[in-house]
Amino acid sequence: MEFKYHLPTSLSFDNHLEFEKELLIVIGEQPVDHLILDAENTKYISSAGLRVLLTFKNKYGNVEVINTSTEVYDVFEMTGFTNIITVSKAFRKVSIEGCPCIGKGAHGAVYRLAPDTIVKVYYDEHTTLEDIKCERELSKKAFVMGLPTAIALDIVKVGDMYGTVFELLNASSCSKYINESQENTDHFIDKAVEILKKIHHIASTDGDLPDMKQCTYVYLDKVKEFFDEETYNKIKALIDSIPTTMTLLHGDFHLKNQLMVGQELMLIDMDTLSIGDPIFELASICNSYYEFARLDKRAVESFLDISVEKAEYIWKQLSRKYYSDLDDEQYNHMCNKIMVLGCMRALHFFRKRNYPQELFDHCLSDLKNALSLI
């Protein structure tokens, strides 16, 4: 059982025994195996106070102190207590009032805090603090791997929401950059292909990353009731035929998860890192720029902030340049495979989020049409 309690403003020689007695009375006979002590209001802690916490550590095992000020955290660190119990600092509070918004996505928005920093604010109720921490760690891994991703500095509070501060100079939204000229659009596509090739030349050794081939099997099983046996077997055979690899994939590679920094493209959303054959990456990209636009024009224009025609152009040019080693027949065959895999992912998403049946039916029709051409 998890139990949370607030530490007093001061935990010193004068009140440490009183605090210990009070907390033991409050807990009583409850079977506590995770004691969380909130130090949000604590300004001072003495050696006597630390000994009380050590008593609780010995009694309950898992003791965690959260929301410490920098000064209080330093006491824990200097005395070696951070090696004994888990201690975390309070999140720095940041205001975005008056800050220009340089990009919005499905789960949050990006604001410029200063000339050299931005903050990504998460407003999706489904994005938990643990999700944000995980994305921050994945961003660090991606940066170490040599990917062009912003440096994640720290997690902050923005009102009632959480955000991640990144170091990023002169960043602007990709949609704004693309809409300025056709030349910019083509430059964006070239940079996107360049980054994709770089990502797909990395073999991941992280055993915790999702395997997109296995995920696609799951997508198929979740919607198999909508296929006859022959169609189901044909889709499964297609998935079977795709090589099983440890190739790194971004997983959600579209312009809302990227920013332009000068003439360079920078990734800012790394929580979808996965492994698998690059065809799964292209299937996700196809959905973002092409398939979703066929299903709901207004939604795509609102989300990407570019026209449907521009989105389709990006998909066709990006995919053709990515598969530049294929002749036209091979390329068209590959695009049909990509369409099947992308639609499979989209069908699962639509069913999971209870999207209108009309969208599901149109996507199902696109999948079957592409499958017939393979």
Asked whether the beta carbons of 13 and 42 are under 8 A apart, the reply is no
Asked whether the beta carbons of 35 and 60 are under 8 A apart, the reply is yes
Q: Residue 112: which domain range?
A: 101-167
> Is there a single domain that holds both residue 344 and residue 205?
yes
207 φψ region: left (φ > 0), alpha (ψ -120 to 50), beta (else): alpha
The H or E element spanning position 117 is strand 117-122
What's the pTM? 0.76
> Is there a single domain that holds both residue 337 and residue 228?
yes
Backbone angles phi, psi at 250, to 5 degrees: -75, -45
Q: CA angle, corner 355, sides to 353 and 356, nearest 5? A: 160
Task: Return the number of other C-beta atoms located less than 10 Å from residue 136's C-beta.
Answer: 18
pLDDT for res 247: 95
Asked whether the beta carbons of 336 and 367 are under 8 A apart, the reply is no
pLDDT band at 101 (very low <50, low <70, confident <90, very high): confident
What are the start-end ranges of the H helices in 28-114?
47-60, 70-78
Q: Select from 118, 134, 167 the last residue of a domain.
A: 167
**Of 338, 324, 336, 223, whose CA–CA distance to 281 is shortest?**
338
- For residue 248, pLDDT over 90 is answered with yes
> Is there a single domain that holds both residue 318 and residue 178?
yes
The C-alpha atoms of residue 65 and residue 47 are separated, in whole angstroms, by 16
Residue 95 lies in a domain: no
- Which residues pair with residue 29 across a beta bridge? none
pLDDT for res 233: 97
Asked whether the beta carbons of 121 and 161 are under 8 A apart, the reply is yes
- For residue 286, pLDDT over 70 is answered with yes
- Looking at residue 331, its amino acid is Y
pLDDT for res 125: 67
Summarize pLDDT for 111-138 with one digit per residue, the tens: 988 888 888 888 866 677 777 887 777 7
Query: In the structure encoding, which two tokens stand for residue 349, read together?
Result: 């998403």
> Is there a single domain that holds both residue 243 and residue 284?
yes
- For residue 231, pLDDT over 70 is answered with yes
CA distances from 332 to 26, 237, 335, 337, 373 (A): 68, 19, 5, 9, 9
Rounded mean pLDDT, 190-196: 97
pLDDT band at 306 (very low <50, low <70, confident <90, very high): very high
The C-alpha atoms of residue 257 and residue 27 are separated, in whole angstroms, by 46
- Considering its fold, how many domains does the chain have in total? 3
- Which residues pair with residue 122 across a beta bridge? 108, 162
117-122 and 108-114 beta bridge pairing: antiparallel
Determine the straight-line distance between the first and last CA of the chain, rounded to whole angstroms. 54
Q: Can you say whether the dihedral through the CA atoms of 96, 98, 99, 105 is positive or negative?
A: positive
> Is there a single domain that holds both residue 7 and residue 150?
no
Asked whether the beta carbons of 109 and 161 are under 8 A apart, the reply is no
> Is there a single domain that holds both residue 31 and residue 124?
no
Q: How many residues does the chain have?
A: 374
> Is there a single domain that holds both residue 191 and residue 239?
yes
pLDDT band at 45 (very low <50, low <70, confident <90, very high): very high
Asked whether the beta carbons of 187 and 307 are under 8 A apart, the reply is no
> Is there a single domain that holds both residue 71 and residue 128?
no
Q: Select from 56, 90, 124 the last residue of a domain.
A: 90
Q: Select from 167, 191, 217 the last residue of a domain.
A: 167
The one-character DSSP state at 241 is H
